[in-house]
Amino acid sequence: MDKRGGILMNRYEVGRLLGQGTFAKVYYGRNIKTGESVAIKIIDKKKVMKVGLIDQINREISVMRLVRHPNIVELYEVMATKTRIYFAMEYVRGGELFNKVAKGKLREDAARKYFQQLIGAVEFCHSRGVYHRDLKPENLLLDENGNLKISDFGLSALLESRRKDGLLHTTCGTPAYVSPEVISKKGYDGAKADIWSCGVVLYVLLSGYLPFYDSNLMEMYRKISRGEFKSPNCIPPEVRKLLTRILDPNPNTRITMAELMDNDWFKKTCKQFELSQSPQGQQRNKFIESSESESSSSTSSMATRSPVKPYLYNAFDIISLSQGFNLSGLFEKDVNSNLETRFTTRKPASAIVSKFEEIAMTEGCDFHKKDGTVKLKHSREGRKGQLAIDAEIFQVTPSFHVVELKKAAGDTIEYKEFCTQELKPSLKDIVWTWQGDQP
């Protein structure tokens, strides 16, 4: 079903065509039950299977489920028939950032705001083991409040995509935004490649044109490989210095994400602002543009002052909890499924955090928290380094939460033993049911 005015799965009314590519079309849609505006991406399954792109679709689904962030377009749910795959996604009304830049360079404060939001979202992706690999103004959307949203994860890569050398090797991206090491085809660090692309975006926002453009593609690649660009007078001196660090052709000396976020210009005149609300009207997490908010807590007093805000479960997440209705098997294989477990609880988020902090003290673990995640890192060295566990807290209702546990580092056997012998018994006071158990 891809015709305007049709009804999809008795759930969405499909309207005007928003855009299309070789294998997919995107339509404006409306949730029949809630009246919420959505974007419906319709993928022709036969076409993608014919050219061997089904793995790319699977990866896009996996990635979009991993990266829920205020500055990333949200995937609400995935549906499928024998011939098509449907993505119901957040509808972003403001169009592409490219359209704004096409009218001319932006003011410094506006460019900095978009850059801060871009870096905040990209850093979050990297923390989840996701590398976008095609960051450019055409893939950066603006909502009705002027906030940036990263879209199009079709070329993204997961941490597991790295070869034995620890690097990615697939050459992809848009030529004018791609880093030198990607062009060289010798393997590259996905995070460093994304940082380079962000630097090109910043240059474009402030100047209105590309730093390495040339009508001859090979000449443009030569400029990129040597990092040859000139900064116009409209770019402030401190930004020129920052761009020199970001657009360093040597990935080993290129600025890191931590260094970038600690840069004086990046943090300059930063103000706390709230991003747009979800279509359901529920408040998203705030992105606080200060070095203090970026640091995670490691003491109980800090935890008291800055409580964890649980993530919000949407309909797709809830459906995926049920094996009878889980569609993910149609698309992907979760290589870490045996290293993840979850439990439900009727306790508030504060009680969940307190329990994990108590476990950390008892078991000799370091305790950290950030956004809706608490982290335990065992002080004892194991067979493969220190064991680290992430616990993500999701709110279904104010009085009902789901907590997902997974190994972040260390030995798999030691992780399973720790969960069975220490973690699960210690959590019995707050657990309502473990996955697969009857309540």
Domain containing residue 364: CATH number = 3.30.310.80
Residues with a catalytic annotation lie at 134
pLDDT confidence of 257, banded at 50, 70, 90? very high
Domain boundary among 57, 90, 123: 90
Residue 189 to residue 252: CA distance in whole angstroms: 10
Whether residue 251 sits in one domain with residue 102: yes
Q: Between the ranges 5-9, 17-21, 249-253, 303-307, where is the mean pLDDT highest?
A: 249-253
Whether residue 121 sits in one domain with residue 260: yes
Mean pLDDT calculated for residue range 192-217: 93
CB 123 within 8 A of CB 261: yes
For position 31, which CATH number holds?
3.30.200.20
- Helix/strand/coil for 289: coil
Look at residue 294 in the predicted model and tell me its pLDDT: 34
Of residues 195 and 360, more confidence is placed in 195
Q: Considering the entire predicted model, what is its pTM?
A: 0.61
> Per the domain annotation, does 18 fall within a domain?
yes
Whether residue 223 sits in one domain with residue 169: yes
For position 192, which CATH number holds?
1.10.510.10
Residue 49: phi and psi, rounded to 5, are: -70, -35
Whether residue 231 sits in one domain with residue 103: yes
> Per the domain annotation, does 197 fall within a domain?
yes
pLDDT digits (tens, 9 = 90+) for 8-60: 988 999 999 988 777 788 999 999 999 999 999 998 888 877 767 777 788 78
Domain boundary among 75, 90, 105: 90
Of residues 10 and 161, more confidence is placed in 10
Whether residue 114 sits in one domain with residue 41: no
Whether residue 115 sits in one domain with residue 263: yes
Domain boundary among 90, 116, 131: 90
> Per the domain annotation, does 402 fall within a domain?
yes
> Per the domain annotation, does 288 fall within a domain?
no
Look at residue 274 in the predicted model and tell me its pLDDT: 35
Whether residue 223 sits in one domain with residue 195: yes
Would you tell me the crossing angle of helices 108-127 and 190-207 to the nearest 10 degrees? 170
Look at residue 13 in the predicted model and tell me its pLDDT: 94
Asked which of 56-60, 295-299, 346-350 is least confident by mean pLDDT, the reply is 295-299
Look at residue 326 in the predicted model and tell me its pLDDT: 44
Look at residue 239 in the predicted model and tell me its pLDDT: 96
Of residues 150 and 60, more confidence is placed in 150
Domain count, the chain: 3
Residue 157 to residue 314: CA distance in whole angstroms: 24
Residue 299 to residue 321: CA distance in whole angstroms: 33
CB 162 within 8 A of CB 130: no
pLDDT score of 222 more than 90: yes
pLDDT digits (tens, 9 = 90+) for 426-435: 898 899 888 7
Of residues 319 and 277, more confidence is placed in 319
Mean pLDDT calculated for residue range 308-322: 56
Look at residue 397 in the predicted model and tell me its pLDDT: 76
Mean pLDDT calculated for residue range 72-82: 90
> Per the domain annotation, does 224 fall within a domain?
yes
**% the chain with pLDDT above 70:** 77
Whether residue 308 sits in one domain with residue 252: no
pLDDT score of 399 more than 70: yes
Segments forming the whole domain that contains residue 413? 296-434
Whether residue 306 sits in one domain with residue 334: yes
Contacts 24+ apart (CB under 8 A), 17-22: 22/47
> Per the domain annotation, does 156 fall within a domain?
yes
Q: Which residue has the tokens 């689904």?
A: 61
> Per the domain annotation, does 301 fall within a domain?
yes
Mean per-residue pLDDT of the chain: 79
Whether residue 112 sits in one domain with residue 257: yes
